[in-house]
Amino acid sequence: MQSKSPAKRTVSPSNEQHPPLEASQSKKLTRWATWASLVVVFALVCRVLDTIKDRWYIMDPPFLHELAKDAIATYPGDTTNVINHIVTNLTATYGTKHINTRQEEWVFNNAGGAMGAMYVIHASITEYLIIFGTPLGTEGHTGRHTADNYFHILEGEEWAYAPPSLKKEVYGPGSVHHLHRGQVKQYKMHENCFALEYCRGWIPPMLPFGFADCLTSTFDIPTLWRTTYITAREMIRNLLVGKI
């Protein structure tokens, strides 16, 4: 006896209700269009903000360069006093509401493979000013950033390099290395090198670069916490007095 009846195979008209094909497609299209418009609006807002970001800057490169040169000339070879001279002047010029005067507040910083220590003098959404350096020397990738970087050498030498030029760039005390927004280089701070680093542009997108080495390599959580705490404290302090 045959167990399969040919009739069974044909008893399968489904009772499921499929929504009409056009309706589900137009729903998908609406969702896609909504996301696309949000992306376009976000891009436009970013573009407009980018054209007006200059109005939020309080510091400027020529002034900082003068100040760095002045400090080096007053205290040659004495970086502790050079830093004190710079911070004293900045406090007189901009006030404690924008300047962090805790000169002992150093944190280690690992980024782009380089290691040094930094003291955050100012941090806001569109600017930061730090002392960065190490007596031991270090070398790494500058990172590709959404801000212009002005590296004022206070002591020692910074070397930099970017092909197609095959020559080493050398920056000594009193000189400034301007790394343009979006530009990248390999850099090395030779022994006993400290710099006044000023950055202007969009600072928050740079922060992941500053945290990546800790999260993938050093796992120095107390340093990560202190860095986050100091940066957030300074940014919020500035926001509260209307400094973006």
Ligand X SMILES: *[C@@H]1O[C@H](CO)[C@@H](O)[C@H](O)[C@H]1NC(C)=O
Q: Residue numbers of the site for ligand X (CB under 6 A)?
A: 66-67, 70, 89, 92-93
Nearer to ligand X, 60 or 191 (CB): 60
Residue 128, SS3 per DSSP: strand
In the complex, minimum distance from the CB of residue 142 to ligand X, in angstroms, rounded to a whole number: 27
Residue 65, SS3 per DSSP: helix
In the complex, minimum distance from the CB of residue 61 to ligand X, in angstroms, rounded to a whole number: 12
Helix and strand tally (H, E) in the chain? 6, 10
Residue 165, SS3 per DSSP: coil
Nearer to ligand X, 89 or 223 (CB): 89
In the complex, minimum distance from the CB of residue 53 to ligand X, in angstroms, rounded to a whole number: 25
Compute how many other C-beta atoms are within 10 angstroms of the C-beta atom of residue 2.
5
**Separation between Cα atoms, residue 107 and residue 128, nearest integer Å:** 15
**Separation between Cα atoms, residue 230 and residue 215, nearest integer Å:** 18
In the complex, minimum distance from the CB of residue 66 to ligand X, in angstroms, rounded to a whole number: 4
Nearer to ligand X, 92 or 240 (CB): 92
Nearer to ligand X, 13 or 62 (CB): 62
CB contact at 8 A, 139 and 186: yes
